A and B are shown apart, each in its own frame.
Chain A
Amino acid sequence: MNIIVCVKQVPDTKDVRLDPKTNTLAREGVESIMNPFDRHALEEAVAIKEQLGGKVTVITMGPPQAETVLREAIACGADDGVLISDRAFAGADTWATSYTLARAVKTLGLFDLILCGKQAIDGDTAQVGPGLACRLQLPYATCVQKTRKVTTAAIEVERMMDDGYDVLRLPLPALITVVKDINEPRVASLKGKMRAKKTEIRKLSAADIGADHQCIGLAGSPTQVVRVFSPEARGDRKIFSGSVTEQVDQLVECLRAHL
């Protein structure tokens, strides 16, 4: 079983804050982490490998320092890491990212299963998984909460819906995206950490994957950000002052008409 896991290095968005005075993003102390959903995709891949044998390859598109998340993934059980990195990839939206990842997957050769996190916490779009499935012409399922059964021929999964869940069987090769409920990711073992240090990370550039320059980076992105702004404040707001008791009294007085 050859499994590919797509991961992304993201800023830990819960630490990113808007400075109320300057209306700009304050990012002091914001760390780069492996996208949390991708951890669960990796864990599922490693669990399947342990059951059926084979190999787990982790791929990421990003700047050179994204190598960190690949080493982290190897420490947690992946066999190989591939860094897809080139200045020409910068500014990619989800369309161009799906294209680039697909070219890289084709360059790597045969695979049985691709696993992705449901979405990345910096963009929250959940579009790259289905986009990648489209480009590789794979059957896919998103928001998988449980792998019921997996063989070398097919995978049976429970996929979250708004009103419950569906049970699907997909023939392999296939692609699934996972939610956090699917498993509890393991922490890196000492042995894994040692191996992560030693493993050589393969690097792929735009030329290595035979990318069409009109399909990558900002040039290949159909969407374009034209304005960035912070939301407006409410017009009619009233912020109380004084002791807690005084403030609560004022609040209850204001709310009284609505209760």
Chain B
Amino acid sequence: MLTIESDKCTACGICETSCAFGAITVQDDCAVVNETCTLCGACVENCPVDALHIEIAGKKIQSDIEMYSGVMVFAEYRHGGIAQVSYELLGIGRKLADKRGVTLSAVLPGGNVASFTEALIAAGADTVFLAEHPVLEQFREDVYAAVLEQVIREQKPEIVLAGATAIGRSVIPFVAHALNAGLTADCTHLEIREKDGMLLQTRPAFGGNIMATIECPNTRPQMATVRPKVMAPAVPDRTRKGEVIKVRLLEQTLQTKIEVLDSVISDGDQVNIQEVETLVAGGRGLESEKGFALIRELASELGGAVAASRAAVDSGWIPYPHQVGQTGKTVSPKLYIACGISGAVQHAVGMQSAEIVVAINRDCNAPIFNIATYGVVGDLYEVVPQLIKRLKEIKK
């Protein structure tokens, strides 16, 4: 529970404003906590006089933590290829493994996927655990989870990384629960502490309004998912040597209750916003669906595509595939123009690796200006038309 040392507390009120749940208030000369407290620790972190503490009673500690070693990546296969994010995970996985002085492995379940092991080794894997079986041809939560669980129990990696894709986000929480392991979703930054191998996992928290760093001190493996396009893949090195080990899948591992009746690939009717060099994005500041006509005009003038914030998508102004942010896509274009987007952390984590960010917003205090390369303070309905006009003039 949260304890407050009344003799240390100065009633400054910082804890009150740092609480996302309204669980702490300053009454008379000391902070008081109520039952809505979720023990998130935000107030403890912010208290300038160390008056707040969270006490954990009876925390269980896994007894064989020392047995776990190495970094393992879930290599995701679907419809004839390995997901790009798997190579990105091998990129960050290699760095973590080298810093800790351990091996990097990949586990690859699938029907007929042996031909992909070379690419995984070239991307940084020392070992590939190949789990082939006809039942793994298509993704099924139960049998994929069982395969990952079997390999992790046998190999005991200290860290397991997976892509925050439809497949990864669906199967990994099941595996983590089965292993009694901690799992952090959608990490935007991963770091390892050399002395004890603690994985420092950073992700947006509180609806993406602030960042939080998370540890799993008492359990192994430490598991994390990472969204596509957040980490950089290593340059493939075809001369790298690695070992391919065929996993002997247990009878009980291959049981499935799920029947896959069909697997439909949707037509790519829209531009993938993760693939273009220029994005023009609209947010709540557009105030209506019509605003996107202006956004589209600017995008086409720049030869780019249209993106949006969660607020614009939630308002129904533009479909979900255009959404950038923690609950949408992560993009890293050369140029990102944010129009009428406040720039909350949940949006920022999806676009902050863009080379140049232009912010157009009336509110000069909007957080988007903190992450912008160039900021224009003004009404987007005045700024954007003038910008289009100037760009047209330059072209001539």
Residues of A within 8 A of B (CB): 10-11, 13-14, 16-20, 22, 24-27, 30, 63-65, 87, 90-91, 93-95, 98, 119, 121-131, 133-135, 139-143, 156, 160-171, 213-214, 217-231, 233-234, 236-241, 244-245, 247-249, 251-252, 254-256, 258-259
Question: Given A163-B79, A214-B60, A256-B394, are A156 and B258 neighbors across the interface (CB < 8 Å)?
Answer: no
- A230's nearest neighbour on chain B, judged by CB, is B210
On whether the beta carbons of A24 and B17 are closer than 8 Å, the reply is yes
What are 6 A-B residue pairs whose CB atoms fall within 8 Å in the complex? Answer: A18-B345, A27-B20, A87-B35, A124-B327, A222-B218, A245-B386
Chain B residues positioned under 8 Å from A259 (CB to CB): 302, 391, 394
CB A123 to nearest CB in B, in angstroms, measures 7
On whether the beta carbons of A126 and B19 are closer than 8 Å, the reply is no
Report Cα–Cα, A223/B180, bound state, in Å.
Answer: 11
- A154's nearest neighbour on chain B, judged by CB, is B259
On whether the beta carbons of B373 and A91 are closer than 8 Å, the reply is no
Report Cα–Cα, A225/B20, bound state, in Å.
Answer: 14
B300 at the interface (CB under 8 A from A): no
On whether the beta carbons of A156 and B261 are closer than 8 Å, the reply is yes
B51 at the interface (CB under 8 A from A): no
On whether the beta carbons of A16 and B207 are closer than 8 Å, the reply is yes
Residues of B within 8 A of A (CB): 1, 14, 17-22, 35-42, 45-46, 54, 56-60, 78-79, 83, 138-142, 145, 165-167, 169-174, 176-178, 180-186, 200, 204-219, 257-266, 302, 310-311, 314, 326-327, 334-335, 342, 344-346, 348-349, 352, 356-358, 364-365, 367, 369-379, 382-383, 386-387, 390-391, 394
A-B contacts besides A11-B21, A13-B208, 17 pairs, CB < 8 Å? A11-B20, A24-B18, A24-B46, A27-B21, A91-B40, A95-B183, A126-B185, A130-B174, A142-B166, A161-B166, A163-B265, A167-B262, A231-B211, A231-B348, A244-B378, A251-B358, A251-B376
On whether the beta carbons of A233 and B209 are closer than 8 Å, the reply is no
Question: Given A224-B214, A247-B377, A255-B358, are A143 and B170 neighbors across the interface (CB < 8 Å)?
Answer: yes
Chain B residues positioned under 8 Å from A240 (CB to CB): 374-377
On whether the beta carbons of A223 and B216 are closer than 8 Å, the reply is yes
On whether the beta carbons of A130 and B170 are closer than 8 Å, the reply is yes
On whether the beta carbons of A226 and B213 are closer than 8 Å, the reply is yes
On whether the beta carbons of B210 and A228 are closer than 8 Å, the reply is yes
- A13's nearest neighbour on chain B, judged by CB, is B207
On whether the beta carbons of A169 and B258 are closer than 8 Å, the reply is yes
Report Cα–Cα, A87/B34, bound state, in Å.
Answer: 11
Question: Given A169-B261, A237-B369, are A219 and B209 neighbors across the interface (CB < 8 Å)?
Answer: no
Question: Given A162-B166, A237-B372, A244-B383, are A135 and B177 neighbors across the interface (CB < 8 Å)?
Answer: yes
CB B169 to nearest CB in A, in angstroms, measures 5
Question: Given A252-B394, A259-B394, are A163 and B78 neighbors across the interface (CB < 8 Å)?
Answer: yes
CB B227 to nearest CB in A, in angstroms, measures 11
On whether the beta carbons of A126 and B258 are closer than 8 Å, the reply is no
On whether the beta carbons of B58 and A171 are closer than 8 Å, the reply is no
On whether the beta carbons of B207 and A218 are closer than 8 Å, the reply is no
Name A165's contact: one of B173, B266, B314 (CB within 8 Å): B266
Report Cα–Cα, A225/B46, bound state, in Å.
Answer: 13
On whether the beta carbons of A130 and B173 are closer than 8 Å, the reply is yes
